[in-house]
Amino acid sequence: MDFYRRLALAGEAIPFGKVATYGQLALLCGRPRNSRQVGYALNRGMAGEKLPAHRVVNSQGLLTGAPAFDTPDMQKWLLEGEGVEVKDGKVDLKKYGWHNTMEEAMALKECFDRLGI
């Protein structure tokens, strides 16, 4: 399905040391109301192996993806390994959130169009 191919590309664009929200990725994929589908895809591995799923948090910065990892603390450990501070299971989105630019969003759109997805 094209949504998952788009998600794979958008997720790969999340910079090292930054996090994105489920809703942000859904919006970048052209489906702003599909944040739950992003979570579903990440949990089921439907967006490919390259997508850094540990960099995806909910809209409040909470690490809600723990069940998808081998251990409950793995997402936290992976983020801390990138320099992202996790306090009480939460990331400060103002400090560590990926505030993608319009140029980045348009580059993704052009990539989707080029690939026909």
Query: Per-residue pLDDT averaged across 3-28, rounded?
Result: 98
Query: Per-residue pLDDT averaged across 3-17, rounded?
Result: 97
pLDDT for 48: 87
Compute how many other C-beta atoms are within 10 angstroms of the C-beta atom of residue 95.
11
Is the pLDDT at 1 greater than 80? The verdict is no
Query: Per-residue pLDDT averaged across 37-43, rounded?
Result: 94
d(CA 8, CA 116): 14
Give me the phi and psi of 67, to 5 degrees please: -60, -20
d(CA 39, CA 56): 9
Domain extent listing, the chain? 2-115
| pTM (two decimals) | 0.94
Higher-pLDDT residue of 39, 72:
39
Highest mean pLDDT among 39-43, 48-52, 59-63, 71-75: 59-63
d(CA 26, CA 73): 25
| Right CATH for 2-115 from 1.10.10.10, 1.10.1740.10, 1.10.287.10, 3.40.50.2300 | 1.10.10.10
